[in-house]
Amino acid sequence: MEELLKNQLVASHAIAAAGSVGLATALTYPLDTVKVLVQVGSGASSKQLSSIQALSRVRNLSGSSGLYAGLGWLASGRILGVGARFGVYELLTAFYKDGREYNRVYIAEAFMAGMAAGATESFIGSPFELVKLRAQVASASRIPSSTSVTENKVGASVIAKLLRGFTPDKKALNQSVTLLSTLTTKHPDFVGALQNYPWMMTGSGRPPSVCDVQRPSNVVSLEGVGALWRGVRSGVARDSIFGSIFFGCWQFLHEVMLVWKAVGMDPEPRNFDEIGPLSPMAVSLAAGFSGSLAAVASHVFDTAKSRSDCTVLPKYITMERRLLKWNRPGNIFQRIAGIHPTDKNILFRGIWLRVARSGFASFAMVGSYYLAVNCLV
């Protein structure tokens, strides 16, 4: 009987946690969509895309529902990722507290545990984030009628295998063949050979747009399974810094509020356990402030991650780079962190949108969790 009650208690907390993460994600998702479009909307040398312009573009091309493009993917990834983040953090802090007289976690320990928890979250949520980001970009992209790929259920060429259900645009391919017609070749099927290259789908020598490679099956077919973890370097750096700052700051604020609450208590408490729990509102506000501060510290890597996920790189090019031992551009820090050197002037783009989103999401997640637990338990 005790085990059954214990299992029900665990299930109630799991349901409350999943619901709170999903609610916080849904409430702040429009901010995330605008933030992503601002980050990937223009290059370093061109005019930057403002938040108002990004919002207007999405509403004009996809309507208000375009602000929620990819919400299901991010919600699924966040439920798994945030669950892993808090789970790893609780396991590590339990290890730190083992054998101590008082149930206390030091700020430095919370910082280190948060770093490991953030890295775990990044690895789990990376595939969901890639699909989500491409859906967001597609919601603000105008796809012309003569798109580079058109539906065809009959064709079974090599490119149709790379992108299931699609074949290259004949008009674009004919233009490419015309440009190359002056070259002398002894190949028996010159046009057919050109059509076997995935980057010829656009007829411009470029890989397909992210609008054409959104679904996980298309990503795996064209770019390989490893593409689901593209930008994992910058993602791990981002979430490690975010997790360490978030949990370290949250623990610091928690101790400050406990000390403030203990002022005037008679008798004076000997440790934090005797002070009693804090109010859910105070804990939620502390979580919101910690989330905003962590977003500021990790935003550089978030921009690098977003721009990396927005790049389509066919697996044949990836294979060639490995065979040729292609070196990543940039200095040693940029190579390790996954930051492209041409993006160094735009790394802080959309920072205030992410600060607002992270702060409000952390506040809503913790507050709704406490509310759900009080209702279920």
Full set of structural domains in the chain with CATH:
9-141+227-311+331-376 (1.50.40.10), 149-208 (no CATH)
Q: For 368-376, which contacts have Cβ atoms below 8 Å and span 24 or more sequence positions?
A: 368/19, 368/20, 368/23, 368/24, 369/16, 369/17, 369/20, 370/280, 370/283, 370/284, 371/280, 372/15, 372/16, 372/19, 372/20, 373/12, 373/13, 373/16, 376/12, 376/15, 376/16
Are 134 and 73 in contact by the 8 Å Cβ rule? The answer is: no
Among residues 75, 37, 81, 49, the alpha carbon closest in space to that of 310 is found at 37
Longest dimension (CA), the chain: 96
DSSP H/E element including 166 = strand 166-168
Cα angle: 35, vertex 37, 167; to 5 degrees: 145
pTM given for the model: 0.82
pLDDT for 28 equals 95
Within the chain, how many helices (H) and strands (E) appear?
A: 13, 2
Quote the CA–CA distance of 169 and 147 in Å, as a whole number.
Answer: 7
The angle that helices 71-97 and 107-139 make with each other, rounded to 10 degrees, is 170
β-bridge mates for residue 314, sequence order: none
pLDDT for 101 equals 75
pLDDT of 119-160, one tens digit each?
A: 999 999 999 999 999 999 999 886 654 444 444 443 445 555
Quote the CA–CA distance of 284 and 93 in Å, as a whole number.
Answer: 20
Beta-carbon-side half-sphere exposure of residue 260 (alpha carbons within 13 Å):
9
pLDDT for 92 equals 93
Quote the CA–CA distance of 68 and 136 in Å, as a whole number.
Answer: 8
Dihedral class, residue 264 (left if φ above 0, else alpha if ψ from -120 to 50, else beta)? left
Low pLDDT (below 50) residues in the chain = 1, 4-5, 145-156, 165, 201-204
Cα angle: 296, vertex 279, 84; to 5 degrees: 50
